[in-house]
Amino acid sequence: MITVNLKPGQKRKRAGTNPFKGLLDNFRGLGSKVKDPLLMAAVGGWICVVAGLGFIYLNTVRQLYSLEPRLEQARSENRRFKTFLADKRRQEMIRDSLLAQITVIRNVDGDRYIWPHLLDEVTKALPAYTWRVDMGPGAAAPVNTAPPKTKADSAAVAAAAAAPVLTFQLNGRTIDIQAYTRFLRQLEASPWIENATPVSAQTVVEKDRPVTAFTIRATFSRADSAYIRTAPFSQSVR
């Protein structure tokens, strides 16, 4: 096609130099076509909503990617602590089983070695020229019926009432009255015996000899573990 410039004083502009000119013209034409401002406001609002949702989505995805390493670390710590708690529960079950077995053994053997302890302590406390005639359970010890003043006293009274108290009576002979008083002191000093109280002491004749016959009442007291010595029942011999 041949074009003729009818205005020689003006230069013809080259077509296609501004690529956005057609787009701007389209927007201007669209604005001239739409006469309702409410429709324009609604369209603008929807555009803002879509843009906001897109921004929120992108921000959420970015935060999700940043939190994934922390999630993996928390899962590994959870697995580690779960293993630790399972092992702890297993150890507690073993401990409870052992405590139950020890309690059963104590209940079975609790009163089995009381009299051997008493006989051993009485034998150790006997001074020279003093001997034991017989020994056995005595009358029950008097119970303190005074009302407790504090909670600690009431707890102590309840514990004393629950725990069985063994009172024994010892009959013996001695040639020396001073040996009798020394015997009382040594009995009271024993960690297994307390409340050693003289009941009676009188002179009698045995085998044509005057001796002092005495009766002592005392209470069994379980000693501290520091005074207890254990030994095996059997020992291998090579």
Other beta carbons within 10 angstroms of residue 196's beta carbon come to: 19
Q: Which helix (H) or strand (E) holds 91?
A: helix 37-109
The amino acid at residue 47 is: I
Backbone angles phi, psi at 191, to 5 degrees: -70, -10
- Span 145-166, mean pLDDT? 53
**Whether residue 102 sits in one domain with residue 188:** no
> Does the residue 153 lie in any domain?
no
Q: Is the pLDDT of residue 216 over 70?
A: yes
Average pLDDT over residues 16-45: 64
Q: Are residues 29 and 103 in the same domain?
A: yes
| Confidence (pLDDT) at 104 | 85
Say if 6 falls within a structural domain. no
Is 231 within the bounds of a domain? no
Which among 109, 133, 151 is the end of a domain? 109
pLDDT of 13 > 90? The answer is no
State whether 85 and 169 are in the same domain. Answer: no
Q: Are residues 102 and 130 in the same domain?
A: no
Q: Domain containing 25: what range?
A: 20-109
- Look up residue 146 and give its two tokens: 């005074």
Question: Is 233 contained in some domain?
Answer: no
Specify the number of domains making up the chain. 2
Q: What is the CATH number of the domain that holds 173?
A: 3.30.70.2830
- Is the pTM of the predicted complex or chain greater than 0.75? no
* pLDDT value of position 40: 74
Tokens linked to 125: 């406390």
- Please check whether residues 92 and 177 belong to one and the same domain: no
77 and 177 belong to one structural domain: no
| Mean predicted confidence (pLDDT) in 154-160 | 49
Answer with the residue of higher pLDDT: 226 or 175. 175
Do residues 122 and 190 share a domain? yes
pLDDT band at 16 (very low <50, low <70, confident <90, very high): low
> What pLDDT is stored for residue 144 in this prediction?
47
Q: Which carries the bigger pLDDT value, residue 23 or residue 36?
A: 36
- The reply to whether 59 and 137 lie within a common domain is no
Average pLDDT over residues 65-94: 89
Measure Cα distances from 98 to 33, 93, 95, 104 in Å: 92, 9, 5, 10
Is the same domain home to 164 and 220?
yes
Is 148 within the bounds of a domain? Answer: no
Put residue 69 in one of left, alpha, beta given phi > 0 → left and psi -120 to 50 → alpha.
alpha
Instruction: Please provide the average confidence, as pLDDT, over all residues in the chain.
Output: 78
